[in-house]
Amino acid sequence: MSEWSKGVVEANGLEVFYHRSGAGSRKPSIVLLHGYTDNGLCWLRMARDLEDSFDVIMPDARGHGRTRGPVKDLGVKLLADDVAAIIRELGLEKPFVFGHSMGAQTALAVSAEYPELVRATLLEDPVFLPDPLPAIAQEDIQRRHDQAKQMIAFHDLPLEERLAKGRADNPNWAEDELYPWAESHGEYSPDIATQGIGIATYSWREAIKKVECPILLITADHTKGAIVSPEVAQEAVGLAKRCEVAYISGAAHCIHRDRYAETLQSVMDFLQRVMRVGP
């Protein structure tokens, strides 16, 4: 990371903290959007393998990492507005946008609402649920309150304790995945745990119909905890204008952490194909 730049850009009322590999280069740009309670550096392993061919930008999302600004009324649409502002403020020319989980919902929203800004989008296990969420029952409110308390308790642990927990729970993750993950879980604003973001309520079906650019939907083993089921993946392909699916066997929700080599290969194949034939 010694050759990478760190920076802060003012975008959509935020001071967005980011890492970047190729500022000033002629390489095509790719913006990597992290998941809920992660930060930009949670993409570090992937970014190292992309940086020879791409100008890689890893921003910390609103309410996460070292980005500073209000988190009230945080939702997917606002996160997408933030990313659009980052792209414009950094002067990126139609970057690829690649997101995981919350970041994938955001990437989809950016591609749907700001088609002029995105060359192609990659969605790693977005929160594509088969049915709309029901009204929140009282017991669900209590359950979410309890989950928020658990999240904040973990957030407040010393870094080494978070790291030890991560190693114990994810023995197959590479070490350079674990440290950024553990660090990020002590950096996000506790407000996002207590107020929620509404990731799962985002209308992904309506959004994916609007996307004009190529989409790579990266899915994994639904029985192991991946969110996108095979049925929903096929529905997404049917709704989208240009969407292909890369299924990564044996991975759960954190696909690139669980099966890194296979994920990287699918990502590189898609990126190279889009660059070869055009968006």
pLDDT in the model for residue 147: 85
Per-residue confidence (pLDDT) for residue 141, from 0 to 100 = 58
Residue 13 belongs to domain spanning: 5-136+199-277
Distance CA 96, CA 111 (A): 10
pLDDT, block means (10 residues), the chain with 279 residues: 80 97 89 97 96 96 97 93 98 97 98 98 95 58 78 94 95 92 95 85 95 98 95 97 97 96 98 86
Residue 150, domain member (yes or no): no
Alpha-helix residue ranges (DSSP H) falling in the chain: 44-50, 76-89, 102-113, 138-155, 159-169, 175-184, 191-195, 204-210, 230-239, 255-258, 260-277
Whole-number pLDDT of residue 140: 59
Q: What is the pTM of this model?
A: 0.94
Indicate the number of domains in the chain: 1
Give the CATH number, domain containing residue 79.
3.40.50.1820
Residue 2: predicted pLDDT: 44
Residue 189 lies in a domain: no
